[in-house]
Structures are given as C-alpha cells and as structure tokens.
Amino acid sequence: MLLYFTNVIPANYWVLGITLLIVILFSIANYVLPAKGTQRFGGSKAGIWGTNIGLVVGLLAPIPLGFIIGPFLGALIGELFFDSKNAKEALRAATGSVLGILASSFIQFLLCVIYFGIFISIVWEYRALLF
C-alpha cells in the first residue's frame, strides 16, 4: 500500500505547484488592487501611498475591520493633506480603495472555494487509500 501511495504523490506535486503559483500571484494582487481602486477613482500618488501604508497599519492594528478602515483612512489622509484635493474628491478616491479591498477579498474567497473543491476531489479520488 505504501508503494502505491508513493506512486501517486508526484502527480499531486503539479497540483501543489500550480496552486502555490496562483496563491503567490493573488497575494501580490491583494496589495495592488486597493491601490488600483484608489487610482481608478481619481486618486493621486499620495492617495495610493496612503492606501498602501493604511493597509499595512490596518492589518497590524488590533481593531475590528482594520484591513478596510486602514486603506480608507490612508487614502483619505493622503489625498486631503498631501495632494490638497477637496473633501469630495478625496472621499471618492478613498472609496476606491475600499472597493479594491472588497474585490480582493472576493477573489480570495473564490480561490478558497476552488481550492476546497480540488481538495475534496483529490480526497474522493484516493478515498480507498485514506479510509
């Protein structure tokens, strides 16, 4: 039985390698999407920097929903103080950062569902060995 199980493992290295590559790409996109959302909604470089700094601070801060509040406040502060935009434009750019965070979270949720499906299909395929 162990010999059969070792013959199966190399095929699963491809699954692990591909899923690792996808996770790395979407982990990078997790930090890029809020900045792109800020830029798309009229944010400047100061707003993009504020979004990125706010994202890191929000992730490390011990507050609920810090990963959403941090980029929003970072973009808002960056636009208001360093780019001297009016409040309406700054609020619009900060809203773009929140939409970027939500899009990133939705993509991560979809990846989790897909990976769970892959896990279930592999377990089902080798159920005789496992159970």
What's the mean per-residue pLDDT of the chain?
85
By CB atoms closer than 10 A (0-12, 13-18, 19+), residue 43 is buried
Q: Could you tell me if residue 16 is inside a domain?
A: no
What is the band of 9 on the pLDDT scale with cuts at 50, 70, 90?
low
pLDDT at position 83 is 72
Q: Residue 52 domain-assigned?
A: yes
What's the domain count of the chain?
1
* Structural domain containing residue 89: 40-104
pTM: 0.75
pLDDT tens per residue across span 54-108: 988 998 988 888 888 999 999 999 988 887 778 888 899 899 989 998 898 899 9
Give the C-alpha separation, 107 to 114, whole Å.
Answer: 11
